Structure 1
């Protein structure tokens, strides 16, 4: 295809760096800490760089549960010093595997100090390596449909069951993850996003460089506590490479979509999936990779796509406890035994009482970075926390392009950001704590602001 003077040849490079922690490293993602003692598969920082004469875009997806904004900013500062790239052109996100080293404070689990110090340099290495791998390239967006592996984890329950809430004795209107009370389930409560979207990247000789996938599935988690694993995200990448018969330089990436309320813990039909450790992760990751490979047929490739990015940081209000709630929480904390806590109902009351005291010391507002990229005919949005599937679905409906997806847990982690109506229903994702503390309208504010950024790219 002959290019006009305004068109600029794309270059692309991808790379991955092993970030697997040492034995004994703290693992977060649960109410209580776990420690790395079982090593199933390696963890990576994976980078994809797209560049033309004017613009360089960087996408980094890290096999980790969550990364707070101060951590991500530290990495971006280090990258900017070494590469002179604009920090606003860099997206750094978490896959959200719950089987990785900790760099964040979540409930009773703090960051692993040594891993927190080591990881920034490894992430920087992955980007530098990707920059060194730049070559003339072409891209294509595509998608498949995979509704079978996404389930709402929020359930309507029968009237004779009262969903527990550790902060309110009158309970919730819905139950998140109804383990042990499956007989009370009426139906799931929120919609799912069945799309498996992807950005495919090849060089001009049709050799594979990378595929950046996006799917709104929280994680699988079919492994024992104390395990290090990339979860289904890792199986997806490995199967892609195998099916494409790509060489060792190929980098398969799965990013986390809007999955704050979505998982694949099958409560109504538990026989659907194998129960052996990692069997479900392998099945789901492999099937998703197979769908992507089938969807590659007939894609429209661009060798000189427009590259643009816009970035904005919002200030969102923090919902803090009242003085009366602080007094009640203090009494509960002083009567609790956190060294031997069990996260049953009584244990959760103690955990969330502690959260109220810690939250009372939080700043009045949190910074929420938003980002939107245009890559040829496709657009990628970025949100800084765990947003529900309906947020991603609403964005897809409003964006005036067929090729759009949202990467969550990007550039920061402001925790759960449920839509207003879901927040009123309660459920685990809405229980006020440091991980769920934003003002009631936060989801709507973020959604409208991201749409405004996207409109600037159109």
Structure 2
């Protein structure tokens, strides 16, 4: 059953005047311990080195009538159960309602064990399935999940306590040189993910990118940047083989290098399910891991700084804040019986000698067991408004095309698509990618990605439905100069002087 929750109604009563927005920012450390699993693949990998800290970054906006919280995690994704528990604790400790809290993951592939196989997911299954799930797949760590949940709660409560008067500013920059669609249209008419540089069958990109860098700035009465929210769409896969916030670390360094380390940075990942830092059509060699991370993060951060420094004349103190939420269930795609039968024959074999199809056999067996337990998945789409900005969330690695459609149809001056928010259901491609010219890694059935092929359209339509129930505030404009009087600068209206 569909449920729409109205967490806030803008201008619900014309007699209630807002006193101006207050905002607060806070962060907490969630760097995983050495030896913990590092998610992001279909097998096990372990943290052997720490490059930089992983964080919870939180902000709270309060217009005097309503409060909303937005949380950015340095994480691959976040399990739905963690979101529900954190929201309940936040409501208990500081009163921000659960449906007014957005929790978004940066999709850092170099972060801690929050997602993939969850504790107890396959306890009811056969011994084969339990072995494949717990011993041969990437697993979340229950102690780490609890630690991140508590850090989210602490960060939001601290941001709420830090609320102070100030002004807000809003702007969009463009960084078109660091993110590329990883799906390539091939000569055979299909689309492949990462077919490789120099592949003679490469034709063109199979999907778009979104170069916009969306920024919300919050300033003290003295004009100091207290914090900002940045939205950009690119996979967090630019880092080396170590624990890291990925390129988001260097984005933060670029912003704080200009404004100081007291300026907190909350990153909200855009719709980048098919967008990474890899340009498969560029014949040049890729940078190494850390240089690549610096390139992406440094350029996105520099663009955010450019936007922020251009905001001095458009800062305002009074904007509406609101939140809406919709939850429902989507059915999982069911693998064909013959595929399950073949997978059950291949999966028990040694993965070192079974060939590359072993991974997909393992995933098919796990998905078959998952469907037996839960054939449907609860999903949530949320719309958080801060003045002229609407953040529209989805719980997926969402294809970029959908993010562009949200921006086009929201009716807001600025739209921040926020993927991998309030849950993680894996890849959600466009309908076209399942058609005759589709294909690629993201369309494969697995225990991670398996929703009905209409899920992407459902998320988009729900997001636009919520956005249209909100009333956009206009973008503040640079004030006009006073009417011209006199003759201009007296020292400047002089004829040429030759001698």
> What do residues 65-92 of structure 1 show as CA deviations (whole Å, max 9, x unaligned)?
1111112112112222222220000011
C-alpha distance in structure 1 between counterparts of 2:19 and 2:397, whole Å: 36
C-alpha distance in structure 2 between counterparts of 1:181 and 1:359, whole Å: 39
Q: Does 1:144 align with 2:173?
A: yes
Deviation, structure 1 residue 156 = 1.5
Q: Are 1:14 and 1:210, in contact at CA under 8 Å, matched by a contact in 2?
A: yes
Equivalent in the alignment of 1:169: none
Match of 1:47 among 58, 70, 77: 58
> What do residues 234-285 of structure 1 show as CA deviations (whole Å, max 9, x unaligned)?
11011101112x3x43211222100000011122325375x23310111221
Q: Does 1:249 align with 2:288?
A: no
Equivalent in the alignment of 2:274: 261
Gaps of 5+ in 1: 160-171
C-alpha distance in structure 2 between counterparts of 1:116 and 1:104, whole Å: 9
C-alpha distance in structure 2 between counterparts of 1:300 and 1:422, whole Å: 41
Equivalent in the alignment of 1:192: 209
Deviation, structure 1 residue 453 = 0.4
For residues 163-178 of structure 1, the aligned pairs below 5 Å read 173-178=190-195
Match of 1:86 among 89, 92, 97: 97
Question: Relative to structure 2, which stretch is displaced further, 38-47 or 4-13?
Answer: 4-13
> What do residues 206-250 of structure 1 show as CA deviations (whole Å, max 9, x unaligned)?
1212111111111233412xx100111111011101112x3x432
Deviation, structure 1 residue 173 = 2.1
For residues 144-163 of structure 1, the aligned pairs below 5 Å read 144-159=173-188
Match of 1:369 among 376, 380, 392: 380
Match of 1:430 among 434, 439, 443: 443
Equivalent in the alignment of 1:228: 243
1:361 is paired with a residue of what secondary structure? Answer: helix
C-alpha distance in structure 2 between counterparts of 1:112 and 1:182, whole Å: 39
Equivalent in the alignment of 1:279: 291
> What do residues 75-117 of structure 1 show as CA deviations (whole Å, max 9, x unaligned)?
1122222222200000111110001111222571011232123
Q: Does 1:314 align with 2:325?
A: no
Q: Does 1:125 align with 2:154?
A: yes
Equivalent in the alignment of 1:19: 30
Q: Are 1:19 and 1:45, in contact at CA under 8 Å, matched by a contact in 2?
A: yes
Cα RMSD (Å) of the superposition? 2.0
Deviation, structure 1 residue 180 = 7.1
Match of 1:412 among 423, 441, 451: 423
Q: Are 1:28 and 1:102, in contact at CA under 8 Å, matched by a contact in 2?
A: yes
C-alpha distance in structure 2 between counterparts of 1:362 and 1:148, whole Å: 44
Equivalent in the alignment of 1:453: 466
**Cα separation, partners in 2 of 1:370 and 1:349, compared to 1, 3 Å:** closer
Q: Are 2:197 and 2:281, in contact at CA under 8 Å, matched by a contact in 1?
A: no
2:347 is paired with a residue of what secondary structure? Answer: helix
Equivalent in the alignment of 1:165: none
Q: Are 1:18 and 1:44, in contact at CA under 8 Å, matched by a contact in 2?
A: yes
C-alpha distance in structure 1 between counterparts of 2:50 and 2:427, whole Å: 29
Q: Are 1:238 and 1:252, in contact at CA under 8 Å, matched by a contact in 2?
A: no
1:127 is paired with a residue of what secondary structure? Answer: helix
Q: Are 1:45 and 1:122, in contact at CA under 8 Å, matched by a contact in 2?
A: yes
Relative to the length of structure 1, the TM-score reads 0.90
C-alpha distance in structure 1 between counterparts of 2:412 and 2:144, whole Å: 40
**Cα separation, partners in 2 of 1:385 and 1:144, compared to 1, 3 Å:** same
**Cα separation, partners in 2 of 1:393 and 1:122, compared to 1, 3 Å:** same
Match of 2:315 among 278, 296, 301: 301
**Cα separation, partners in 2 of 1:12 and 1:129, compared to 1, 3 Å:** same
Gaps of 5+ in 2: 1-14, 118-132, 472-499
For residues 54-65 of structure 1, the aligned pairs below 5 Å read 54-65=65-76
**Cα separation, partners in 2 of 1:341 and 1:417, compared to 1, 3 Å:** farther
Q: Are 1:17 and 1:45, in contact at CA under 8 Å, matched by a contact in 2?
A: yes
Q: Does 1:101 align with 2:112?
A: yes
2:68 is paired with a residue of what secondary structure? Answer: strand
Deviation, structure 1 residue 354 = 2.9
For residues 2-41 of structure 1, the aligned pairs below 5 Å read 6-41=17-52
1:8 is paired with a residue of what secondary structure? Answer: coil
2:288 is paired with a residue of what secondary structure? Answer: coil
C-alpha distance in structure 1 between counterparts of 2:413 and 2:455, whole Å: 26
Equivalent in the alignment of 2:231: 214
C-alpha distance in structure 2 between counterparts of 1:112 and 1:341, whole Å: 29
Q: Are 1:243 and 1:290, in contact at CA under 8 Å, matched by a contact in 2?
A: no
Question: Relative to structure 2, which stretch is displaced further, 177-186 or 414-423?
Answer: 177-186
Q: Are 1:201 and 1:209, in contact at CA under 8 Å, matched by a contact in 2?
A: yes
Q: Are 2:198 and 2:281, in contact at CA under 8 Å, matched by a contact in 1?
A: no
1:228 is paired with a residue of what secondary structure? Answer: coil
Equivalent in the alignment of 1:164: none
C-alpha distance in structure 1 between counterparts of 2:206 and 2:413, whole Å: 27
C-alpha distance in structure 2 between counterparts of 1:222 and 1:381, whole Å: 27
